[in-house]
Amino acid sequence: MGVTLGIIAVKGGVGKTTIATSLAVDLARRFQKKVLLVDANYSAPNVGLHMDIVTPNKTIHDVLAGKARLQHAVHTKHGIDVMPGSYSYRREIRPLLLRDKLAVAKKKYDFIVIDSSPNLNDEVLSVMLASDALFVVSTPDYPTLSCSLSAAWLARQRGKPIAGIILNKLRNPRYELSLEDIEHAMGIPVVARIPDDEFHGRALYLRMPSIVYRNNTVFAQEIAALGATLTHHAEPIPFFHRLFPRFLRREVVNRQLVKERLYTSTLPTFFERKQLSTEPEFVIEEVMQKHA
């Protein structure tokens, strides 16, 4: 039985689709897994643009409208199966059917990677309910942290706690929230830290996943490390850090913990020592006061 991974964010422009497409391709290429990538950003689908599937005959919209079987909406690109969305679909769809539609596909694939909508409505809820594990993509700033807290709040209400944060588009630490700030506010481990880089724009212009365009970047290393966590492969650790593990970067330690718990019943309680017992805006106020 395959594992369904929901890549979520409730703020646009944080790099969610860039990460979802690259993770899906890397799981197939590096770890030889059979992968299905699903575009569940129904109102503004972008996976097809990243994967160069621009005019598909059938899409996830047709599946959720009851107009096509799932297998008829699947297209193969870069070694994975892709279910893109429609850019101008006019029929009514039922997003909350996503989990049922993917239930059969889980028997065929090792991983199903779902790229979600950035809207906190039934679109992102459909991804939460369909996923076995959720990862939230966030940038290190107050507005995105606020949105991420709202996503975490909804996920926990639905019994779908977030397994990890992918901290993306790091630029200048002097003017960004730290890993510690974000983990303290959300009670969720940061499992990857990725600097911003202009090559993502070039990759999108060429309509290919970033990891296909360039596979020797920090971005590629972090995606590979996350893939190793998901597939239970060993992450390469420098000899010095093996001798002195206290100097390991926090996200590396977090990945090891997630690896230990990902396929066990302990995942829902992982990192739950920090419950979101207060409204997200009060958590943001606490972080802002710390930096006042």
pLDDT tens readout for residues 191-208: 999 999 999 999 999 999
Q: Mean pLDDT, the chain, as a whole number?
A: 86
> 205-249: per-residue pLDDT in tens?
999 999 999 999 999 999 999 999 999 887 766 544 454 455 467
Residue-level pLDDT at 3: 93
Residue-level pLDDT at 276: 44
Alpha helices in 193-278 (DSSP H): 199-205, 210-213, 218-231, 239-243, 250-261
Region of poorest pLDDT, from 3-7, 45-49, 281-285: 281-285
* C-alpha count within 13 angstroms, C-beta hemisphere, residue 202: 7
Backbone angles phi, psi at 121, to 5 degrees: -145, -155
Rounded Cα distance, 247 and 196, in Å: 24
More confident residue, 219 or 1: 219
Does residue 291 register a pLDDT over 90? no
Rounded Cα distance, 151 and 146, in Å: 9
What are the structural domains, with CATH classification, of the chain? Answer: 3-290 (3.40.50.300)
Q: Mapping DSSP to helix (H, G, I), strand (E, B) and coil, where does residue 163 land?
A: strand
Residue-level pLDDT at 159: 86
| Mean pLDDT of the region 251-272 | 64
Does residue 66 register a pLDDT over 50? yes
Rounded Cα distance, 7 and 21, in Å: 10
Residue-level pLDDT at 56: 94
Does residue 166 register a pLDDT over 80? yes
Residue-level pLDDT at 237: 64
> 109-151: per-residue pLDDT in tens?
999 999 999 988 899 999 999 999 999 999 999 999 988 888 8
Residue-level pLDDT at 43: 92
